[in-house]
Amino acid sequence: MTDRREAVRQNALYLQHVRPIDPEEIAEYVEGQAHPAVVRQLLREEAPDLGLIERDDGTFVPVSDEPVPQRTDAIREFPPRYVRRLDDWLAERYGPNWHEGASGDLLRSTLRRTKAQYLEGGPVTYDEDVAASYAIYHLPGYYAAIQYALDDLAERGLFERHLRVLDVGAGVGGPALGLFDYLPDDALIEYHAVEPSAAADVLDAMLEETGRNVHATVHRTTAEDFEPTDGTDDGTYDLVLACNVLSELDEPVAVARRYIDALAEDGSLLAMAPADRETAIGLREIERALEDGSSGGRADDIDADEHRSVTVYGPMVRLWPGEHPTDRGWSFDVRPDLAVPSVQSRLDDAADDPDHAPGEFENVDVQFAYSILRTDGTRHTDVSLDTGQWAKMAEMDRHVSNRIDLVAAKVSRSLSEGGALSEENATQRGGQADDPNPLFKITDGSESRDHYAVVTKETALNRPLIEADYGDLLAFESVLALWNDDEAAYNLVVDEETIVDPLA
């Protein structure tokens, strides 16, 4: 078989630059007249190394070197094929009416208990029941969230069609499925998942729905124990995912550094976390601890000099050379709700206990914090400012009560409720015409206190602030700087005298 495999490889290497590779043609060249089906299987196994994709007609061609285009549409639903596969998996384990009776009660009580443990900051053990309830509740949102985060890479042409992916703490597979659906049909993915818990059983089932050019392997071990060379031959990856896992690790910075060292020279690490205060702030602390020169918290006892240089690609900005933020760092994105998938509605509709509120087991919010890190110095927004023209947030105290010019990125949707900031309404959608005083978190990467832009008088000249997307860079002209004692933060008042311009 080794000689046959090598013969297939050599023929493929020759033909890939001549014409599409047909297994039936290669079968004729292999000594002993190998069956075309055997040749096809060997080509599939060798495809990642040879850089080949399999087409609908059964032939193989080299993967394109064109970057992946940016997605243009909002994600409206968790695809039905994934919902059906999850439904089938649940039926295999709990019976066809898994949402009813004792099994339904078990899944609902498990979900309630797991949510309570998470909110209390306690550890969660992922047995089969927890994995099942987690998949029902979280798969759709995680599937959508990662695609919005990937836009930042695709927008700059940094997302290649041939990808070696390492998914650390892959869970039940939401981010993986979102990644695969973001990529075009002619992409080639060598995917390695690291997941030690029972969630890997769900992941295995969901991976059955992926295309022929997704070459997936699930490694049932911990993030701490996995060796990058157990995946790719050279132990390097174009994209490392650490989605909703870092907050569960004892030494998140050390683990993240280890996998940053496994990035290809132009690779990216995408870390994600839920939008709640503790995990979102925790993600930002990890980001800052990993960044060169940062004084970020949660810095585990490791020597940064032994590791590769880290640059924050986005969505947080660093507009002032040598400056790094030390503010609270609670920032997250909010995107349109998804349609309620049938696995959630069935579980919710079957609940009949007195404590149940309709919609308790439906979760279609898409709210997430994320960080993209690279080692090649590339930033999504590469700007260097001059204090002779622009105010710096690190020096905002001396600008209080003055009108100033400022450049900053918008890093929240509207957080206002009648113009007042509160953490309780921080997940509110905003920026609509009926929002009396839209308020947005902004950053220039130098601040030690939170900064918020609050619109007290909307005009055509300052409307770009309201219309800007999460992470967009804006120039503020004649914005009034004030100190908010109640919130221990700076308010930048945007009124009829203020002009806001988007910066490309």
- Say whether both 237 and 196 belong to one domain: yes
Q: What is the mean pLDDT of the chain?
A: 91
CATH assignment at residue 222: 3.40.50.150
What pLDDT score was predicted for residue 122?
74
- Say whether both 496 and 441 belong to one domain: yes
Q: Would you say residue 382 lies in a domain?
A: no
Tens digit of each residue's pLDDT (9 = 90 or more) over 313-322: 999 999 999 8
Q: Would you say residue 74 lies in a domain?
A: no
Query: Tokens 């309570």, residue?
Result: 116
- Say whether both 118 and 247 belong to one domain: yes
In this structure, of 281-295, 419-433, 469-483, the range with the lowest mean pLDDT score is: 419-433
Q: How confident is the model at residue 298 (pLDDT cuts 50, 70, 90)?
A: very low
C-beta atoms surrounding 312 within 10 Å: 24
Query: Residue 86, SS3?
Result: helix
Mean pLDDT for the stretch of residues 441-458: 97
Alpha helix (H) residue ranges in 64-170: 80-94, 101-119, 128-154
C-beta atoms surrounding 276 within 10 Å: 18
Calculate the CA dihedral of residues 164, 126, 329, 467 and round it to 10 degrees.
70
Mean pLDDT for the stretch of residues 274-293: 91
411: which 2 tokens? Answer: 């890093």
Question: Is residue 211 scored above 60 in pLDDT?
Answer: yes
The rounded percent of the chain whose pLDDT value lies above 90 is: 80
What pLDDT score was predicted for residue 133?
97
CA 397 to each of CA 407, 488, 499: distance values in angstroms, whole numbers, following the listed order: 16, 12, 22
Rounded to a whole number of angstroms, the CA Rg of the chain reads 25
Question: Is residue 31 scored above 60 in pLDDT?
Answer: yes
- Say whether both 161 and 132 belong to one domain: yes
- Say whether both 58 and 88 belong to one domain: no
- Say whether both 216 and 249 belong to one domain: yes
What pLDDT score was predicted for residue 478?
97
The rounded percent of the chain whose pLDDT value lies above 70 is: 93
Give backbone dihedrals phi and psi of 367, rounded to 5 degrees, phi first.
-135, 130
More confident residue, 259 or 30: 259
Pairing of strands 263-274, 188-194: unpaired
CATH assignment at residue 3: 1.10.10
DSSP letter for each residue of 454-481: EESS--TTTHHHHHPPTT-EEEEEEEEE
Tens digit of each residue's pLDDT (9 = 90 or more) over 307-354: 889 999 999 999 999 899 999 999 999 999 999 999 999 999 999 988
Q: How confident is the model at residue 100 (pLDDT cuts 50, 70, 90)?
A: very high
- Say whether both 123 and 240 belong to one domain: yes
DSSP category for residue 21: B
Structural domain count of the chain: 3
Q: How confident is the model at residue 233 (pLDDT cuts 50, 70, 90)?
A: confident
What pLDDT score was predicted for residue 458?
95
- Say whether both 213 and 349 belong to one domain: yes
The model's pTM: 0.92
Q: Would you say residue 325 lies in a domain?
A: yes
Tens digit of each residue's pLDDT (9 = 90 or more) over 143-154: 999 999 999 999
- Say whether both 115 and 256 belong to one domain: yes
Tens digit of each residue's pLDDT (9 = 90 or more) over 150-171: 999 999 999 999 999 999 999 9
What pLDDT score was predicted for residue 417?
65
Question: Is residue 428 scored above 50 in pLDDT?
Answer: no
Name the residue among 5, 54, 441, 450 with its Cα closest to residue 215: 54
- Say whether both 50 and 97 belong to one domain: no
Query: Which residue range forms the structural domain that includes residue 412?
Result: 393-502
Pairing of strands 451-455, 366-374: unpaired
Question: Is residue 17 scored above 60 in pLDDT?
Answer: yes
Mean pLDDT for the stretch of residues 248-265: 95
Tens digit of each residue's pLDDT (9 = 90 or more) over 351-393: 998 889 999 999 999 999 999 999 999 999 988 887 789 999 9
**Burial profile 339-369: b = 16 or more Cβ within 10 angstroms, e = fewer:** ebbbbbebbbebbeeeeeeeeebbbbbbbbb
- Say whether both 135 and 162 belong to one domain: yes
329: which 2 tokens? Answer: 């760092």
- Among residues 374, 406, 426, the one where a domain terminates is 374
- Element housing 212 (H / E): none
Q: Would you say residue 45 lies in a domain?
A: yes
